[in-house]
Amino acid sequence: MKFLFDDPAFDYQALRAAGYADFGGAQLGEIIAVASRIPGGDTDAWRREWTALAERVHGLATAALAQHRTLDARAALLRAHTYYRTAEFFLRDDPLHDPEAARLMRLSKETFAEAAGLMERPPEFVRIPYGDGSLPGYFYRADDSAGPRPTLIHHGGIDSTLEEGYFFIAAAAQARGYHVLCFEGPGQGSVLREQGLTFRPDWEEVVTPVVDFALARPGVDPERVTLVGTSLGGLLAVRAAAFEHRLAGCVAHDAVWQLGDVVWLPPFVHEWVEQGCDDFANPVMYGIAVQQTFRAGCCGRRCGRSGRRAPPNCCAGCPRSASRTWSGRCAVRSWCSTPRRTCSSPVWNTRRRCTRAWAAPRPCTCSPRTRAGEPTATPAP
């Protein structure tokens, strides 16, 4: 069901921001207004307009603080946090080294931290021991009583942030008598950006030290600790709960059960993965990943990175064309047919064709040729 955009990725991210309105993380009027100024699929306009909104609302918070209007300041800071995070979302060309992405995420974290300090019961920012380092978290107490309370441990998924846990679950659970410990694990938020730690499949190795930390907190009932994972975190949480038996329960919140449902891969790549042929599968998956930003990049036949219009036949007939990004050459449908013994690429499919995408950072050096009946994608004038 459409919310504000025809572009499904833009629509989902706008809806995601709007969903935080219940707990002060957004105002629907502001979201509708900013959406009206963003053409579908235009990532530059997305960043520009959401940033402008975030800065305006942040300014309201600064003015309110100067006038000692704490409630108004907190409300504006929570909204600014959401809008800064939303502005950053489609900066995906090189998010770990993009200074604008870093600036927006820093402002998102700072505005939330400032808002948290103005809450009636401010959460405690914590560092959870993990390996040779630590994981960031917020511990939200239901009250100051010494009696044991049921406790929820929450983490997000692929692109969730630590602070979003407040809107996902902490605000509602805290009001209903639960302690809540939100954290970011490897592959998520600041742990990825600042520590360079990536996702790991044995998520129980992440959750176990978090459970250790939670059980050491005063007022946590050791018999009533529940793990909650959102999105991809739902899949990770179920995996962790199978091994961490101190948990009383596990909630897979809006879970993603297969990454293949989010990032499209050719069927033969799935076969390679199942057969354990990582040396063949990884370069192809990397080539596809750099052309996708988890959004409908070719929606409207427009390149999600450069904004250039794609050729009329680019990705024509592809059943998943809505999930392609065109950057001068179709990175998924361009193949070469050089014999294996002369092809410098190690990646082959069952039809003895090199499957490395031309537009990948380490492109195939074979002579560019296309499959029979498929036109070569060339930049539009």
Task: Tell me the per-residue pLDDT of 56-104, one tens digit each, with 9 for 90 and over.
Answer: 999 999 999 999 999 999 999 999 999 999 999 999 878 888 999 999 9
Contact 256, 157 (CB under 8 A): yes
**DSSP state, residue 24:** T
Taking the model in full, what pTM does it have?
A: 0.74
- Which has the closest alpha carbon to 333: 352, 355, 311, 312? 355
**pLDDT score recorded for residue 289:** 61
Q: How many residues does the chain have?
A: 381
Distance, in Å, from the CA atom of 214 to the CA atom of 33, rounded to the nearest integer, reads: 42
Task: Tell me the per-residue pLDDT of 3-47, one tens digit each, with 9 for 90 and over.
Answer: 999 988 899 999 999 999 999 999 999 999 999 999 988 999 999
Where are the domain boundaries for CATH 3.40.50.1820 in the chain? 122-257
Task: Tell me the per-residue pLDDT of 282-336, one tens digit each, with 9 for 90 and over.
Answer: 888 777 665 554 433 222 233 333 333 333 333 333 333 333 333 333 333 333 3
Residue that is written with structure tokens 């940033």 in the block = 51
Per-residue three-class SS string for 290-350? CCCCCCCCCHHHECCCCCCECCCCCCCCCCCHHHCCCCCCCCCCCCECCCHHHCCCCCECC
Given a cut of 80, is residue 208 above it in pLDDT? yes
Based on its alpha-carbon atoms, the radius of gyration of the chain, rounded to whole angstroms, reads 23
Which amino acid would we find at residue 63? Answer: A
Distance, in Å, from the CA atom of 337 to the CA atom of 357, rounded to the nearest integer, reads: 13
Distance, in Å, from the CA atom of 160 to the CA atom of 65, rounded to the nearest integer, reads: 29
Distance, in Å, from the CA atom of 148 to the CA atom of 298, rounded to the nearest integer, reads: 53
Q: Helix (H, G, I), strand (E, B), or coil: what is residue 218? A: coil
Tokens encoding 171: 């605000």
Where are the domain boundaries for CATH 1.20.1440.110 in the chain? 1-120
**pLDDT score recorded for residue 251:** 97
Instruction: Give the residue with greater pLDDT, 277 vs 252.
Output: 252
Residue 309: strand pairing partners: 302
Task: Tell me the per-residue pLDDT of 115-149, one tens digit each, with 9 for 90 and over.
Answer: 999 999 999 999 999 999 999 999 999 998 878 99
For this structure, is 231 an active site residue? yes
Q: What is the CATH T-level fold of the domain 122-257, as seen in this structure?
A: Rossmann fold (3.40.50)
Which entry of 108, 160, 231, 345 is annotated as an active-site residue? 231
Contact 111, 81 (CB under 8 A): yes
- Which has the closest alpha carbon to 294: 322, 319, 262? 262
Q: What is the CATH T-level fold of the domain 1-120, as seen in this structure?
A: de novo design (two linked rop proteins) (1.20.1440)
- Which has the closest alpha carbon to 129: 72, 188, 48, 205? 205
Specify which of 235-239, 256-260, 355-359 reaches the highest per-range mean pLDDT: 235-239
